[in-house]
Amino acid sequence: MFYREAGDFKTSYVDDSQTFPIRFDRMRYYAVLVLGFGILPFVMNDYWANAVFVPFLIYAIAAIGLNILTGYCGQVSLGTGGFMAVGAYACYKLMTAFPWMPMPVNVLLAGLVTAGVGVLFGLPSLRIKGFYLAVATLAAQFFLVWLFNKVPWFYNYSASGQITAPERTLLGVAVTGASTPAWAKYLFCAVFLFALAWLARNLTRGTVGRKWMAIRDMDIAAEIIGVNPLTTKLSAFAVSSFYIGIAGALFFAVYLGAAEVGEAFGIQKSFLILFMVIIGGLGSIFGSFAGAAFLVLLPVLLKNLLVGGLGWPTDLAAHIELMIVGALIIVFLILEPHGLAQLWRVAKEKLRLWPFPH
């Protein structure tokens, strides 16, 4: 009834090719923006920021990054944790070496450094395909974590081997360090997420994105119609690593404050983000958001339910939680292998026809 193209007349090509062609979608998009930037920062408190919103925003950035590589370009990667570590350590080195540099510049430069490392580890993808490549990216994961553990230069020779984010302010408000207000953390990450998601949406529907998808769908055929696999695959690795590096930098500087590489950026992180991408939906920006939200909220809910609600001991609850997460993932893959994004598409299609059945 209210959700349809009919009656929404476009008078220019720009209008015709906009991201949200249906008026209801546009309104919803603006409503989310108003909620995210106009209301939430004012009601944010420490618990909600640290337990839900900041991890959600950061994981969403990482999930978009991995989705570009895996969902759009078809290259499965298990090295996400390692690339996040590159972003985190690059950010740390920049923060401590150039204390005067504004924080957003640090984060962006950390992303660029990660993009370079990503291209390096992406080179084998020109020869290796499928699961062989997935396992090969594990080399990046283990090597990078080892490197940051063993070379003291990366953690500035600190005795604990940890990296700790010093306080940096932006426009007079602390954005990293212990005295950061919850709303500043939230807003800092939210601005990055918004900008990066907007960029990703527009990249993926332009020339670059179409080349990625051509390579994903059939690389040989893509090559024959003139898509250069070298530049296409490496650009996917670069853009994806750029996003993941930014996520890593934010994860360390804004969310954790102090990090130990094996614990914060281990192999579990790679799997977690891959889960987000798969459960959210491969090849969908909305799916990255949905997957990140699902996997951030699920443990919080389960923990509140089992420990808070039923009063079980924490270690037992942790094991049961593991079982439930595992079982849910399987159930999810069985019921909807294309992820939450597909459910969303189906719902929208239903809504477009409603109230008529056909």
Residue 327 CA: distances (Å) to CA of 187, 277, 294: 34, 17, 14
What does 49-113 look like in DSSP terms, one character per residue?
IIIIIHHHHHHHHHHHHHIIIIIIT------HHHHHHHHHHHHHHHHHH-TTS-HHHHHHHHHHH
User: Would you count residue 301 as binding another protein (CB under 8 A)?
Assistant: no
Residue 286 main-chain phi, psi, to 5 deg: -60, -40
Q: Which part of the chain contacts another protein (CB under 8 A), choosing from 188-196, 215-223, 291-299, 346-354?
A: 215-223
Q: Is 313 left (phi over 0), alpha (psi -120 to 50) or beta?
A: beta
Q: How far is the CB of 146 from another protein (least distance, A)?
A: 5
Residue with smaller CB distance to another protein, 35 or 322? 322
149, 162, 169, 342: residue in contact with another protein (rule CB under 8 A): 149
User: Would you count residue 135 as binding another protein (CB under 8 A)?
Assistant: yes
Residue with smaller CB distance to another protein, 25 or 336? 336
User: Would you count residue 275 as binding another protein (CB under 8 A)?
Assistant: yes
Residue with smaller CB distance to another protein, 129 or 205? 129
What's the CA gap between 15 and 344, in Å, rounded? Answer: 24
* Burial track 230-264 (b if 16+ CB lie within 10 A, e otherwise): eebbbbbbbbbbbbbbbbbbbbbbbbbbebbbeeb
Q: How far is the CB of 314 from another protein (least distance, A)?
A: 11
94, 103, 278, 285: residue in contact with another protein (rule CB under 8 A): 278
Size of the site for another protein (CB under 8 A): 50
330, 356, 357, 358: residue in contact with another protein (rule CB under 8 A): 330
User: Would you count residue 16 as binding another protein (CB under 8 A)?
Assistant: no
Q: Amino acid letter at 11?
A: T
Nearest Cα neighbor of 65 from 305, 246, 227 is: 246
Residue with smaller CB distance to another protein, 78 or 254? 78
Nearest Cα neighbor of 266 from 248, 240, 279 is: 248
Residue with smaller CB distance to another protein, 320 or 351? 320
Q: Are strands 173-176 and 258-259 parallel, antiparallel or unpaired?
A: unpaired
Q: Which residue has the tokens 């939210």?
A: 190
33, 151, 195, 300: residue in contact with another protein (rule CB under 8 A): 151
Q: How far is the CB of 73 from another protein (least distance, A)?
A: 13
Residue with smaller CB distance to another protein, 102 or 262? 262
User: Would you count residue 44 as binding another protein (CB under 8 A)?
Assistant: no
User: Would you count residue 120 as binding another protein (CB under 8 A)?
Assistant: no
Q: Amino acid letter at 46?
A: D
Q: Which part of the chain contacts another protein (CB under 8 A), choosing from 36-44, 229-237, 248-256, 311-319?
A: 311-319
Taking a C-beta distance cutoff of 8 angstroms, is the pair 91, 107 a contact?
yes
Nearest Cα neighbor of 60 from 38, 26, 28, 32 is: 32
User: Can you tell me whether residue 258 is helix, strand or coil?
Assistant: strand
Q: Which part of the chain contacts another protein (CB under 8 A), choosing from 56-64, 97-105, 195-203, 272-280?
A: 272-280
Residue with smaller CB distance to another protein, 14 or 323? 323
User: Would you count residue 316 as binding another protein (CB under 8 A)?
Assistant: yes
39, 308, 326, 348: residue in contact with another protein (rule CB under 8 A): 326
* C-beta neighbour count of 58 within 10 angstroms: 26
51, 112, 138, 305: residue in contact with another protein (rule CB under 8 A): 138
Which residues of the shown chain bind another protein in the complex (CB under 8 A)? 70, 76, 124, 127-132, 134-136, 138-139, 142-143, 145-146, 149-151, 218, 220-221, 224, 267, 271, 274-275, 278, 282, 312-313, 315-316, 319-330, 333-334, 337
